[in-house]
Amino acid sequence: APDDLPPDRRKMDPPTEEGFDDDNELTFVKEAPEVNGLVEQIKDALEGRDPADGTSTISKTVFHRIQEIVERYQEYPTLLDPHLDKWILPLTSVLRREAHKGSEADMVLVQRASRVLHALASVRGYKTVVKFFPHEAKDFEPVVALLVRSHDVGSLATNMEETDELGSAWETRATLILWLSILVLIPFDLVTVDSQVTTNTGIDGAAMAKSGGQQEAPPVVLRILALCQDSYLRDPGIVRDRAAFLLAKLLTRPDMPLALQKFLVWATDALGGQSEYSEQEKMFIVPGIVRALAATFKLGKRSELLEVAERLWTNARDLADSPAAKASTLTRKLACKLTQRIGLLFLKPRVVSWRYERGARSLEDNLKRAMIISQGGDADAEERKKADEAAKEQEEEEDWDIPEEIEEVIEALLTALRDKDTVVRWSAAKGLGRITARLPAELGDEVVGSILDCFLPTENDNTWHGACLALAELSRRGLLLPVRLPDAVPHVASALAYDVRRGPHSVGAHVRDAACYVCWAFARAYAPEVLAPHADALAPSLLIAACFDREVNCRRAASAAFQECVGRLGAFPHGIDIIQVADYFSLGSRTKAYTVVADHICGYDEYRRRMLNHLCDVKLIHWERATRELAARAISIVGRRDPEWIREVALPVLLDRSLSTNLEARHGACVGAAEALFALKNAGEPCVEGELATKVTSLVTAIEKARLYRGKGGEVMRAAVNKYVQCLASVSQPLDKGPGPATGPKSLRSTLLASLEENLKHPTVDIRDSAVSAMGEFAASYMVGSNPAAGAKRLIVKLATVLREDQNPAARRGAALALGVMPREMLFSYVPGFAAEAPAEENTDAEADPEMIPAWRMALEALKAASIPEEDVEARDADARVCATKGMAGVLCRMANNLVEDDYAATSQAASEVISSLLTCMEDYCTDNRGDVGSWVREAAMEALPGAISALQASGLELATARCATIVSALLKQCAEKIDRTRASAATALCAVLRGRESDNLEPLPDVPGLDRLLDAAPTEERLAASWAVPTSAYAALTPLIVADGSDPLAAYRADLIEGIVVSAGGVGDSLGKASGGALVAAVKADPALQETVANELVDLLSRRQGVDRVTVPLLRILDLLFSSGALTSVAPAHPDPPNAFAHTLAENLRAELKGSRDVAKLCHGVQALSHVAALGPNVVNSDRCARTSGLQGILALMVSRYPRVRRVASEALYVLLLGLDEEAAGEGIEAAIELLSDTRWDAELTTVKPERNKLYPLLGLEAPAAALEAAKGPGVKVKVVDENESYAALVGSA
């Protein structure tokens, strides 16, 4: 293994080049060589060696790069351990060198190094990093001086850059304080290293320390105390925490008793309100003081601190109840921490003899115990005897002096267990564990009892969570004795399932997670024989949490606890087999946990009934609908292993609960009963009989009688009833066993069918879709039988009628989807066709019988008509067209399923018609206020197209080459669409038709023009088609398919491909336009022959799509892009060379497209396109077809547009155009035209603008149109005769 791997990872497989193992986890610091090189640069600069660039300073980027690399390992901090020594020493050397410089220290360099060291301390932990700091006595005073100097960094900066880099220098102070926390641990009196002692007294510090003459703390210590008290302890950031750590290390030294007493007096005064701090100052300084006191009490001697403990306990108690603590989580946590430290001061340090210890502390004792067990002896008897004797002796000898304050301390910690914040509860749990470890057995048992009392149903979730944490701490320390386990285990099992509803959600995930931690702690704390009696209670509860918990962290925590119990105890049945399936990754998916992991576990009898009962009694009444439905699905999978439980327990309970007044209970019971029936079918069991069968078949009727479709939850129950009917039909439960007649309009079958038909019309998607699924199963089970024609007449004719005539869009959607799930036996039946509308003059007295037609023909005709947008825009419904498209695919799929020879002709005919309709649907570009809703129809058509081609192939027909080219061309056009989702769907369909799809039995299309190059461009697999949603990936693959040679097979796709790219490139999306337009421009520029082809295609597209703004507006933008980028230089060269013949046609088409348009943006883009055409040279071959003349005419026409903005844009474009032409090209009047354009305000009134525009015609050498000359004459003045009595105002005026 590599040397730079941490010790705990060296036994693993070597990492990959990227630093990841097979599980995609980092295994080493892959940037270590780079950091080592940067550190070497720092070393070279410190040692005076010139680095490679010849400078002796350390670059800012060196420190920044190291910091950036270190911060990447926040989640893998231990990987830094092998490198800490090599990296920290050079960085601290920078601080060390600058500290010894005194007032000449470079604070900018200090700040840079401190930032890196602070990053290391933040990532790896300051207690680990500080061990690598130098700790020589000579550095003590310089570091303190450098710390003092860091307060004046604002005045030390020489420029703005240094001011910004230094900031407040809090990283410098945090790092220097951390360094001081190890420097104060030097193993001799601090007075010996204080130079001011010798300077002020003239006595050597070492001699003073030896004589004991020092009464006060050394000046350097007093300076540190002053800095901490006056500044650092009130800092709101990390400096406060580091200062508290420093004070604890400093004041607990043996030579600091006076300084400790002085600090304690100051701290107690500050906490007791005897100081002069304001309330705002207390908000910051109190947490610092409390943290420093807690750390001091942790490290100090009990004899020195006990005398102030009582006073501080009063302050700590008052602090915990203060308004400041109620408003601050940090204050409450620190108050709890201080409380437990004071409590530990009240009790003598001791290891109580009554605690439980697992095993022996020596290997020899363990081996002796194993030998006794192997010989059949009782290894624990002797140990118990010795333990009892030792306990008795110690109880008699020890003097248990328990102060009265201990009861208050424990009560305060028990109260903190109920705190609303986790960090406070966690601190209280650890405090209870530490204090209980110093109490006698009787008091310790009382603490355990108080914690167990927290598991009352009336307590809130915070109390349960705190109690779980406390139990885990007590068990880890051996303070929860085995005799208490029968009391604790039931509470832990209850906590594993704790879930309390609160409004629209529930609470309890943190409780369940903590309960898993308790189980994990039990496994590590107790011997197998101690915990074995409780395995039956813990194992099922852990597995239920691992499989069925809503939160992924709880499922994984339960799995980890179960694995720990199996590994250490071995008392859980089938534990090894289960943990191989219920691992960390398999439980990450809730669906997999419910359906796969739970199914495996229920294969063992010990767990099956507990898990099934939990699903039935708990999860099916869960507040979340998705959880209830997933639990029902789990019952259908797991329940097949226990049909007896389904019949005797699940179905009776769930059928009765389905009529409950509680919405969650009845919905879960309904879907649970449905899946329970399906579980019986999966188990190969017959349908239910007797009284249970009556209840099963009449449930829907009972729900409707109870009017549970109304009010709150009615929609939820509709979906549940649909699911129930679907499962009822899928198991073919006889319906003639229920109440009422077996057949007829009031029969149970008719009632269920009417319920489904009503739900088909519902506007809610999930209700409609569930009704469609149920309708398909119902028709197959109850409507086919011996007379499928009757079923077809009842269902297919009615659904087709609704689809053709019903004005309700929701009803049409449901009918279209329902037609797609009809059984093939009904589709091939004959039904009466729709009567043709007879002319009014014909005699209609005798109605002729309608012609009998195949049901599939009726269904397809209705679906094809419904997939076409209506003439009335207001009546259009995109969702109905989507459903009709899916319905066509469904009808064809069922016709092609299990084909017989007699059905080949009908299937091939239906497939051909469906393919044609799908190609028509792929041209649906309807829009509404939601945007391009036609894209939904296009995507549905593309999803259905491979299945339709597969059905055609199954019927024995092959597509012609021209038809194949049409299909591929349509797909390529969609592949170039501007919507990312649509491109991905088109790429998926294209890959399927070109490469085949095994799941649909689809063979690749054989006669596709240019197949080899299409395969190179298309995705290699359907799952990779999603990459075409990224514009850069799609258009880079599509533009090479545009060819110039008309005889090339790929030329068949050119027109549609260019149209798709134009619409995308000319859209409003910036990234999409850059990707598609850039790809097109690059392809056209690279091939001069392609320029003429693309230019002609654009002209044809403009003519073909005239008036379609969806295409023409992007096309105008693309023309501007192509001309501006010089991509058409071969067909439109610069003046004076004449352009290609396409230019005049383009100009004429542009003028025709812009004529009469009211879209201002479109007109402005048209001006730009016309200006490019007008800038071309004259046509010397045919002057009548001059593109320049036509372009100028178009611009001049737009200069008198009704829209001022268009007039202004047109005039500016013409002005720029004329400036770019010479006099010989434009005529003698160019200067006058330019002057006229600049002097006229073209966004003024039209009466002012038109005469000025008409003056431009002769100046530009153009003949003015007749309409312009007529307008120049001006309208004649008509005198209006006013009737004196025309208005009431006239009468008033005459009066």
- Is the alpha carbon torsion for 213, 216, 217, 220 positive or negative? negative
Distances (CA, A) of 1025 to 951, 983, 1019: 23, 9, 6
The tokens for 1258 are 């002769």
- Amino acid letter, residue 717: M
DSSP designation for 448: H
Distance CA 688, CA 676 (A): 11
Neighbours of 533 (CB within 10 A): 13
Distance CA 415, CA 459 (A): 12
Nearest to 821 by CA among 798, 795, 803: 795
Q: What is the pLDDT of residue 361?
A: 47
The tokens for 867 are 């997939």
Average pLDDT over residues 912-921: 95
Read off the pLDDT band of 401 (50, 70, 90): confident
Task: Judge whether 976 and 1034 are in contact, CB under 8 Å.
Answer: yes
- Amino acid letter, residue 15: P
First to last CA, the chain: 114
Alpha helices in 1125-1159 (DSSP H): 1142-1154
Q: What is the pLDDT of residue 378?
A: 60
Question: What's the helix, strand, coil split of the chain in %, to 5?
Answer: 70, 0, 30
Read off the pLDDT band of 906 (50, 70, 90): very high
What are the pLDDT digits (tens) for 172-189? 999 999 999 999 998 888
Instruction: Pick the more confident residue, 53 or 1261.
Output: 1261
Average pLDDT over residues 183-198: 81
Distance CA 1136, CA 464 (A): 89
Buried b (16+ CB within 10 A) or exposed e, 564-590: bbbebbebbebbeebbebbbeebbeeb
For residue 502, the SS3 value is strand
Distance CA 1275, CA 271 (A): 96
What are the pLDDT digits (tens) for 478-490? 999 999 999 999 9
Nearest to 182 by CA among 223, 134, 219, 114: 134
Instruction: Pick the more confident residue, 518 or 49.
Output: 518
Read off the pLDDT band of 3 (50, 70, 90): very low
Instruction: Pick the more confident residue, 1229 or 124.
Output: 124
Residue 50: pLDDT above 80?
no
Q: What is the pLDDT of residue 1163?
A: 93
For residue 500, the SS3 value is strand
Distance CA 1217, CA 462 (A): 77
Q: What is the pLDDT of residue 1088?
A: 87
Distance CA 310, CA 405 (A): 8
Number of residues that this document lists for the chain: 1295
pLDDT above 90 coverage of the chain, percent? 54
Instruction: Pick the more confident residue, 1288 or 1116.
Output: 1116
Give the Cα-Cα-Cα angle 429, 433, 437 (nearest 5 degrees): 165
Q: What is the pLDDT of residue 469?
A: 96
Read off the pLDDT band of 455 (50, 70, 90): very high
Task: Judge whether 469 and 514 are in contact, CB under 8 Å.
Answer: yes
Read off the pLDDT band of 375 (50, 70, 90): low
Task: Judge whether 716 and 663 are in contact, CB under 8 Å.
Answer: yes
Q: What is the pLDDT of residue 200?
A: 57
Element of type H or E holding 678? helix 663-682
Nearest to 819 by CA among 833, 801, 837, 845: 801
Beta bridge partners of 854: 830
Q: What is the pLDDT of residue 836?
A: 52
Instruction: Pick the more confident residue, 1287 or 573.
Output: 573
Distance CA 353, CA 54 (A): 69
* Backbone region of residue 953 per phi and psi (left: phi > 0; alpha: psi in -120 to 50; beta: other values): alpha
Give the Cα-Cα-Cα angle 960, 962, 966 (nearest 5 degrees): 115
Nearest to 1068 by CA among 1125, 1123, 1114, 1009: 1114
Distances (CA, A) of 774 to 277, 781, 988: 74, 11, 30
What are the pLDDT digits (tens) for 732-760? 888 865 555 555 566 888 899 999 999 99
Distance of CA 897 to the CA centre of its chain: 40
User: Residue 287, preceding bond cis, omega within 30 degrees?
Assistant: no
Instruction: Pick the more confident residue, 1028 or 1294.
Output: 1028
Highest mean pLDDT among 778-787, 961-970, 1260-1269: 961-970
Residue 1291: pLDDT above 50?
no
For the chain, what is the largest distance between any 2 Cα atoms, rounded to a whole number of angstroms?
138
What is the DSSP track for 1227-1246?
Answer: -TTHHHHHHHHHHS-TTS-H
For residue 328, the SS3 value is coil
Distance CA 647, CA 686 (A): 11
Distance CA 377, CA 380 (A): 9
DSSP designation for 744: S
Average pLDDT over residues 1136-1160: 86
Distance CA 631, CA 611 (A): 11
The CA dihedral of 50, 54, 58, 60, to the nearest 10 degrees, is: -160
Residue 351: pLDDT above 90?
no
Distance CA 893, CA 852 (A): 23
What are the pLDDT digits (tens) for 278-312? 777 788 888 999 999 999 999 888 888 888 888 88
Query: What stretches of 109-267 adopt beta strand conformation (E)?
Result: none
Distance CA 850, CA 667 (A): 46
* Backbone region of residue 785 per phi and psi (left: phi > 0; alpha: psi in -120 to 50; beta: other values): left
Neighbours of 900 (CB within 10 A): 9
Nearest to 80 by CA among 37, 15, 26: 26
Q: What is the pLDDT of residue 68?
A: 92
505-507 and 500-502 strand pairing? antiparallel
The alpha-carbon radius of gyration of the chain (Å, integer) is: 43
Distance CA 298, CA 344 (A): 9
Nearest to 255 by CA among 206, 291, 290, 292: 206
The tokens for 676 are 């329970």
Read off the pLDDT band of 325 (50, 70, 90): confident
Give the Cα-Cα-Cα angle 334, 338, 344 (nearest 5 degrees): 150
What are the pLDDT digits (tens) for 976-1017? 999 999 999 999 999 999 999 998 889 999 889 999 999 999
Distances (CA, A) of 1000 to 947, 949, 996, 997, 1128: 6, 10, 9, 6, 46
Give the Cα-Cα-Cα angle 540, 544, 545 (nearest 5 degrees): 120
Q: What is the pLDDT of residue 744?
A: 56
Element of type H or E holding 854? strand 852-854
Cβ neighbours of residue 1201 under 8 Å, at least 6 residues apart?
1163, 1207, 1210
Distance CA 1192, CA 1260 (A): 9
Distance CA 1284, CA 1293 (A): 10
Residue 576: pLDDT above 90?
yes
Please provide the average confidence, as pLDDT, over all residues in the chain: 85
Q: What is the pLDDT of residue 348?
A: 86
